[in-house]
Amino acid sequence: MEQFDVLIVGAGHGGAQAAVALRQRKFTGTIAVIGEEPEIPYERPPLSKEYFSGEKSFERILIRPASFWEEREVRMLTGRKVVSVDPEARQVTTADGATYGYGSLIWAAGGHARRLTCGGGDFVGVHSVRSRADADRMLSELETTTEVAVIGGGYIGLESAAVLAKFGKKVTVLEAQERVLARVAGVALSRFYEKEHRDHGVDVRLGVTVECIEGTDGRASGVRLASGEIVPAQMVIVGIGIIPAVEPLLAAGADGGNGVAVDEHGRTTLPNIFAIGDCAFHANAFADGLPIRLESVQNANDMATTVARFITGDPEPYNSVPWFWSNQYDLRLQTVGLSAGHDQEVLRGDPATRSFSIVYLKAGRVVALDCVNATKDYVQGKALVLAGAAIAPEQLADADTPLKALLGTTPAA
Ligand code: FAD
């Protein structure tokens, strides 16, 4: 059995950054990363953006080139899936029956795309967008596709829709809620993106329920809605969230459910086992200390660094401000903070100019911003979120006043 001082499960954003941060912090022990996918760590966001659109090759989305891992003596054990963890023996077992021992285990396994459970959900032509293999499968079918149905109006669904619309495909977005991005953004942003997609020829359907996938010989030909209507589609993209990949940890006795529970240092309830990234359920200061899972590169990277600090004897609790981005058409959305639970939205600028921000307030304090083609607001707004600044909505709405000028001001009584 091979033995490593630190064994990382999951060769994605969090896993890669954990190894990088350990070496940056002069950790000299042995490190291995076990990854289910055949590739060394690559960036996932481009799968629905620049990689999918052909603007970036796979080599350009690698987190680090292969030589980087070799030089730093980080063993990449790719194409191997961990199926069980034995916390007492401090070892994991992979699907091929091999066992690996560890001093510390960092679980960075992310999640698997949630699949449709309705009829036809496994037909050829039905896709998730989680891995390079998923994106390559979609790309290989593009030539024979004229109509695409995107199930789920979240970021991944909308980004894919934008790329496909640019490719000239007839795209229909099917969203169960009454607005797109309902889980992550306020109403004004949802309405803006719905209009943008419609202006680009995408048919955005809201409040619709998918009944099943239609098809012949196991190949998709459309999506049947509860109304009985069939939306024709040779390609169906399913963007309905992820299921955290934590079964082996929960089976080993770790606390959790929707992910695995960790404390402010990324420690699970099992000894010497940490968890980071999409699969880690943690109390987040920007969610009023409530336990949440965040699905973002920022969170994966910063949690990785938190764990590397702990392992190298320089602990610092996880307390990073959440941020995120999304590219659709020529729009770059940058989000800082968490808008969930806000009670007020303030618009800065005019959405018709396609450069504006939305400031979210909770009990009079700035908790988040969504900035569309407005990087300055994003950068300066971060300080307001960090400070939990209480600023009068009229001041925030005045796009001629830079946000940094508002820090330290107090709202009018
Ligand atoms: P991942 O990067 O998913 O890595 C987990 C790895 O673990 C995977 O390779 C998985 O195969 C592997 N694994 C799972 N189970 C096992 C096992 N049992 N054994 C071994 N290996 C295992 N975030 C942003 O901030 N901005 C964006 O614009 C953005 N766009 C996105 C677009 C797409 C299409 C997707 C899919 C995600 C996007 N995200 C974006 C989210 C971001 O990519 C994730 O939050 C981030 O990748 C999480 O990192 P992670 O290390 O937790 O998980």
Per residue in 331-371, pLDDT (tens digit) is 999 999 999 999 999 999 999 999 999 999 999 999 999 99
Overall average pLDDT of the 371-389 stretch: 97
CA distances (Å), origin 170, targets 47, 118, 146, 179, 201: 20, 24, 6, 20, 8
**Which residue's CA is the nearest one to ligand 1's atom 3?**
110
Q: Is there a contact between 364 and 410 (Cβ–Cβ < 8 Å)?
A: no
Q: End-to-end distance of the chain based on CA atoms, in angstroms?
A: 68
3-state DSSP: the chain helix, strand, coil percent, rounded to 5?
30, 30, 40
Q: Is there a contact between 336 and 321 (Cβ–Cβ < 8 Å)?
A: yes
How far apart are the C-alpha atoms of 346 and 397, rounded to whole Å? 6
Which is it for strands 235-238 and 126-127: parallel, antiparallel or unpaired?
parallel
Q: What is the pLDDT of residue 413?
A: 47
pLDDT at 412 over 60: no
Q: Is there a contact between 258 and 273 (Cβ–Cβ < 8 Å)?
A: no
Q: What is the pLDDT of residue 408?
A: 77
Query: Percent of the chain scored above 70 by pLDDT?
Result: 99
Q: How far is the CA of 41 from the centre of ligand 1 (A)?
A: 10
Task: Give ligand 1 pocket residues (Cβ under 6 A).
Answer: 9-15, 34-37, 44-45, 47-48, 81-82, 108-110, 129-130, 156, 245, 277-278, 295-298, 300, 324-326
Q: What is the pLDDT of residue 411?
A: 59
Give the pLDDT band of residue 407 (cuts 50, 70, 90): confident
Q: Is there a contact between 43 and 52 (Cβ–Cβ < 8 Å)?
A: no
Q: How far is the CA of 12 from the centre of ligand 1 (A)?
A: 6
Region label for 121, one of left (φ > 0), alpha (ψ between -120 and 50) or beta (otherwise): alpha
Residue bearing tokens 């080599």? 59
**Which residue's CA is the nearest one to ligand 1's atom 29?**
45
Tell me the pLDDT tens digit for each residue of 175-232. Answer: 999 999 999 999 999 999 999 999 999 999 999 999 999 999 999 999 999 999 999 9
Tell me the pLDDT tens digit for each residue of 261-285. Answer: 999 999 999 999 999 999 999 999 9
Locate 73 and state its tokens.
């003596």
Tell me the pLDDT tens digit for each residue of 7-52. Answer: 999 999 999 999 999 999 999 999 999 999 999 999 999 999 999 9
**Which residue's CA is the nearest one to ligand 1's atom 45?**
296
Residues 6+ apart with CB under 8 A from 169: 142, 145, 146, 147, 148, 235
Q: How far is the CA of 47 from the centre of ligand 1 (A)?
A: 11
Atom of ligand 1 nearest to the CA of 130: 36
Q: 0.85 cut: is pTM over it? A: yes
**What letters, b where the CB count within 10 A reaches 16 and e where it falls short, cover 133-152?**
ebbebbeebeeebebbbbbb
**Which residue's CA is the nearest one to ligand 1's atom 32?**
45
Helices (H), 233-350: 247-251, 297-311
**Which residue's CA is the nearest one to ligand 1's atom 39?**
45
pLDDT at 80 over 50: yes
Atom of ligand 1 nearest to the CA of 248: 18
How far apart are the C-alpha atoms of 151 and 238, rounded to whole Å? 5
Residues 6+ apart with CB under 8 A from 162: 197, 200, 202, 327, 328, 329
Query: Percent of the chain scored above 90 by pLDDT?
Result: 98
Q: What is the pLDDT of residue 410?
A: 58
| Mean pLDDT score across all residues of the chain | 97
Tell me the pLDDT tens digit for each residue of 143-170. Answer: 999 999 999 999 999 999 999 999 999 9
pLDDT at 69 over 80: yes
